[in-house]
């Protein structure tokens, strides 16, 4: 990861750019602004992807203007790039995350051992310890992260946790735009 003051944007996929729903909410983004595609996740399944074009355009603009370094931080791990390709996004690296132990373990862990550290968390702490300004968009942050933790991190880090059925909404993009400014 290069040095510098450019913020790092850790981007989750499901529940952030992929809305987890069959019917997207037209009150969040108009009906004609949703696109459907699929992406291969390594388990012989082409997963459905439902994304809002204003969110994709916002990400492209942030990337093109160099406002943030965008890194995938998702259970998709190195298959994240397939989602990026399916949505015609620029190529972004996947955040190195040795704590990732597979989705099944993660779900079981989340259900059984509520005290155990979320696998996504140590990588975030490492970036913060390096003094990185950090934007972290993850729908699960609202369940997995202590609200006080998010407060402690401000203003170095902004955590945005959209609703999983909509992903990033207009108000989130406005908030992110202000934070990146």
- Which stretch in 3-11, 26-34, 117-125, 138-146 sits in contact with Mg ion by CB under 5 A? 138-146
Q: Return d(Cα 42, Cα 71) in angstroms, integer.
A: 20
Encode burial over 73-88: b for 16+ CB neighbours within 10 A, e otherwise: bbbbbebbbbbbebbe
Nearer to Mg ion, 32 or 104 (CB): 104
Interaction pattern, residues 13-52, with Mg ion; x per rule: CB under 5 A: -xx-------------------------------------
Nearer to Mg ion, 22 or 65 (CB): 22
- The answer to whether the beta carbons of residues 162 and 172 sit under 8 Å apart is yes
Residue 69 interacts with Mg ion (CB under 5 A)? Answer: no
What does DSSP assign to residue 63? H
Residue 12 interacts with Mg ion (CB under 5 A)? Answer: yes
Residue 101 backbone zone (phi > 0: left; psi -120 to 50: alpha; other: beta) = alpha
- Tokens 């969040």 correspond to 28
Interaction pattern, residues 139-168, with Mg ion; x per rule: CB under 5 A: x-----------------------------
Nearer to Mg ion, 7 or 15 (CB): 15
């Amino acid at each position: 990861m290069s040095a510098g003051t450019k913020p790092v944007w850790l981007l989750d996929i499901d529940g952030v750019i992929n809305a987890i729903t069959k019917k997207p909410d037209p009150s969040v983004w108009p009906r004609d602004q949703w696109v459907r595609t699929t992406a291969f996740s390594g388990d012989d399944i082409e997963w459905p992807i439902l994304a809002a074009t204003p969110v994709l355009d916002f990400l492209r603009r942030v990337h093109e203007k160099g406002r943030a370094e965008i890194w995938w931080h998702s259970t998709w791990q190195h298959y994240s790039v397939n989602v990026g390709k399916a949505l015609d996004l620029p190529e972004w690296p996947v955040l190195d995350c040795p704590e990732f132990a597979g989705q099944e373990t993660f779900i079981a862990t989340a259900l059984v051992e509520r005290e155990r550290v979320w696998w996504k968390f140590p990588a975030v702490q490492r970036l913060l310890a390096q003094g990185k300004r950090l934007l972290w968009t993850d729908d699960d942050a609202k369940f997995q992260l202590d609200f006080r933790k998010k407060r402690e991190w401000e203003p170095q880090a902004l955590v945005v946790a959209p609703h999983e059925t909509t992903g990033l909404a207009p108000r989130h993009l406005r908030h992110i735009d202000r934070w990146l400014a």
